[in-house]
Amino acid sequence: MPEDFANAWRIKRLDRGWSTLLARNGSEIRVRNIGKDVAVGDYVTIDIDSERVEEILPRRSALIRRASFEGARATPHVVAANIDTVFLLHAASSGVNPRRLERELILAFDSGAIPVVLLTKSDAVTEEIISEQTEVVRVVAPDVPVHGLSSRELNTLGVLAQYTANGETIALLGASGVGKSTLVNALVGSRVQSVGEVREGDQRGRHTTVAVDLIELPTGGWLIDTPGLRAVSLWTSGHGIEKAFADVFRLSEDCRFRDCKHADEPGCAVSDAIGDGRLTQARLTSMERLIAEEATLEDEQREKEKATDKRGVRKVR
């Protein structure tokens, strides 16, 4: 816990309007969080008399996605707060989905934390496949660390210790069945998360995590597990898209025209890169779709704000 938050509590778990809080000395307390947009990992102060969260202290990072519940139009959902590293899990046994990884990278970069890709279930495939999947990651995220590992082979997990050596907090993000719960149990050294059965055909499991938990690691540091995300819904991006597609943005700096659409314009460095194989058309198309998706979300936000302002005016009158 940061020294300037010495008297704060950290949110360990959320349950229907209640927060389980953790103090510096390890003691726990449950208080109400009604009216507060809290997240696991937040540092908060509490009102002891009314047993409720009083203030959410400034976040140094936050993993935010678009809320998926009904009626959540243009509404953010903070998945985890005050994290240092986001582990993006992809099962080597079923392969890396480049388009999903791009979305996860945007979420991670926008959070303010550092993304790291983990190729899980490496024991189910050959070294050659691990190398192939690593190359898929390199194409999408050339500057992001990537590790192949297996929760069944504990010697492969040692590489992860560097990310929590100084008490840092890591968060796990991935689709259902990529082995997040199994990894949590392996890192903690006990069965803290239940694990679904794995299908024989594709080695996919059923994700069993239904809540977000802050878990202390025996080797130091903290871990936040999250439920498997069937779809990675983005929130408005700060610089996440630019960082996730840094290769495309670097190329675009050499285009003849500043407003180049990378279509039929002369002197387009991006089109040239696609022509000679340095960049794929699929990656450029994916980036353009994500930029359009962000623009649509920003329009929805503005419409929502206008509607809120109009309701406020009517109330004053």
Q: Is residue 238 part of a domain?
A: no
What is the pLDDT at residue 176? 84
Q: Is residue 177 part of a domain?
A: yes
State the DSSP H helix or E strand holding residue 295, giving kind and residue range, or none if neither.
helix 281-316
What is the pLDDT at residue 24? 85
- Residue for token pair 């927060």: 19
Into how many domains does the chain fold?
3
Residues 268 and 309 both lie in one domain: yes
- Distances in Å between the alpha carbon of 151 and those of 202, 258, 290, 310? 17, 48, 33, 53
Q: Is residue 233 part of a domain?
A: no
Q: Is residue 236 part of a domain?
A: no
**In this predicted model, what pLDDT tens digit does every residue of 229-271 receive, in sequence order?**
556 777 766 789 999 999 999 999 999 999 999 988 999 999 9
Spatial distance between the Cα atoms of 5 and 37, rounded to a whole number of angstroms: 19
Q: What is the CATH number of the domain that holds 44?
A: 2.40.50.140
**In this predicted model, what pLDDT tens digit does every residue of 41-69 receive, in sequence order?**
999 998 888 788 889 999 999 998 887 65
What is the pLDDT at residue 71? 53
What is the pLDDT at residue 98? 94
3-class SS shares of the chain: helix, strand, coil, % to 5? 35, 25, 45
| Residue ranges of the chain whose pLDDT lies below 50 | 196-209, 314-317
Range of the domain at 297: 245-316
Residues 163 and 221 both lie in one domain: yes
Q: Is residue 239 part of a domain?
A: no
Q: What is the CATH number of the domain that holds 259?
A: 1.10.40.50
Question: CB count, 10 Å around CB of 289?
Answer: 12
Q: Is residue 146 part of a domain?
A: yes
Residues 282 and 174 both lie in one domain: no
